[in-house]
Structure 1
Amino acid sequence: MEYQALSGSAFYLHGAFWVFVAVAIFALIAGRKVMAAIGTMLDTRAKSVSDALAEAAQLKAEAEVILADAKARQAQAMEDAKQILETAHQEAASLAAALAAEAEATAKRRERMAMERIAAAEASAVSEVRAAAIDIATAASAALLRDELGAQGDAALIDRAISGVPGALRA
C-alpha cells in the first residue's frame, strides 16, 4: 500500500484531509464553548478579586479613620491625665500648706497653754510662798511680841504708832 499523502492525487480526496477538517471544526466549536466557559470563569474570578480589593480598600479607609480616632482619643487621654496630675499636685501642695499652718497653729496653741500653766504654777507657788511667809512672819511677830514686850513695851508701841498716823496719812 502506498502512502496517500505522497501520491499525486488532490489533497481533498484523501481521508486524512477530512479527518483534519473534522477535528479542526470540532476544535473550533468545542474550543469556543470551552473558551467561553474559561472566559466566564476568569471574568467571575476577576470580578471577585476586584470586589475583594474594593472591600479591602474600604476596610483600609475605615481602619485609618478608626486609627486616627484612636490616636486622637489617646492624645486627649494623655492631656486629661496631665491635667489630673497637675491638679493633684496643686491640691497636694495646698493641703500640705494647710496642714503645716494647722500644725504651726496647734504648736503655738500648745505653747501658749504651757506658758499659761507655767504662769499659773508660778502664781500659785508665789501665793503659797507669800502665805507661808505671812504665816511665818505672823508666828514670829506673835512670838516676839509675847516674849519681848511687856505692858510697858505695848504702851510705847501704841504711842509710837499713834504719833506716826498723821505722817502716814499725809504720805
Structure 2
Amino acid sequence: MKKLVALIALTAATPALAASTNPLSGAFWSLHNTNLVVLLGFLLFIAVLIYFGIPGMLAGMLDKRAEGIRSELDEARALREEAQSILASYERKSLEVQDQADAIVRQAKIDAEAAAEKAKADIEVSITRRLASAQDQIESAQASAIKEVRDTAVSVAVAAAADVISKKMTAANGNDLIDASIAEVGAKLH
C-alpha cells in the first residue's frame, strides 16, 4: 500500500512525465506515455491476430453461423408452409365433418318423422284390432247370454210341461203314448 501511495505521489510531482495526447509533440513518442504504449500494444495485438489468420477464422465462423441461420430460416419457412397446409387440410376436414353432421341430423329428423308416422299407423291398427276383438267378445257374450236364456227358457218350459203332463196324464194315457211311439219308431226304421 505504501508503494502505491509513493507511485501516485511521484506521478503527480512530475508534470513532465504526464502523457501528451498530441502525436506531434515529442512527449507523445516517449515510452513513458501510456497512450503510446496502449496504441503499440493494440497494434501488436491486431498484427498477431492477422498473422494467425483470426479474422479469416472469424469470417468463416460468421459465414457458417449465417449459413446456419439461413438454413434455420428456410426450415422455419418450410415448417410454416407445412403447418399452413395442415391447417387448411384440417379446416377442409372440419367443414366436411360439419356437412356430414348436418346430413346425419337431417336424416335423423326424417327417420324420426317416419318412425312417428309408422308408430301412429301401428297404434291405429292395434286399436282397430282391439276394437274388433272387443266387439267379437261382446257379440260372443251376447250370443252366450241369449243361448243361456233360451236354454233356461227351454228347461223351464220342459219342467212346466212335465209338471203339466204329469198332473194330467194317467197311467193308461202314458201306456198308449209309449205304444204309439214304439210303433212310429218301428215304422220309420223299416
TM (norm. structure 2) is: 0.62
Q: Matches of 2:112 and 2:78 in 1, distance apart? A: 50
- Who is 1:153 aligned against? none
Question: Percent identical across equivalent pairs?
Answer: 14
CA RMSD of aligned residues (A): 3.1
2:79 to 52, 57, 60: 52
Of 88-97 and 22-31, deviating more is 22-31
Query: Would you say 1:99 and 2:121 are equivalent positions?
Result: no
CA drift of 1:54 comes to 0.6
**Unaligned stretches of 5+ in structure 1?**
147-171
**Unaligned stretches of 5+ in structure 2?**
1-16, 31-35, 174-190
Query: Would you say 1:71 and 2:98 are equivalent positions?
Result: yes
Superposed CA offset, 1:84-121 (max 9, x none): 22222112211111111111111000110111111111
Q: Matches of 2:48 and 2:78 in 1, distance apart? A: 40
Q: Secondary structure at the match of 2:169?
A: helix
Q: Matches of 2:41 and 2:165 in 1, distance apart? A: 173
- Who is 1:22 aligned against? 47
1:41 to 68, 78, 103: 68
TM (norm. structure 1) is: 0.69
Of 61-70 and 131-140, deviating more is 131-140
CA drift of 1:71 comes to 0.8
Query: Would you say 1:128 and 2:155 are equivalent positions?
Result: yes
Superposed CA offset, 1:125-170 (max 9, x none): 1111221222222223336xx9xxxxxxxxxxxxxxxxxxxxxxxx
Of 74-83 and 25-34, deviating more is 25-34
- Who is 2:167 aligned against? 140
Q: Matches of 2:69 and 2:130 in 1, distance apart? A: 88
Q: Work out which structure has the larger RCO, using CA pairs closer than 8 Å and 6 or more positions apart in sequence.
A: 2
Q: 1:17 to 1:106 in 2, by over 3 A?
A: closer
CA drift of 1:30 comes to 3.1
Of 98-107 and 23-32, deviating more is 23-32
Q: Matches of 1:34 and 1:88 in 2, distance apart? A: 78
Q: Structure 1 segments of 4 or more deviating over 6 A?
A: none
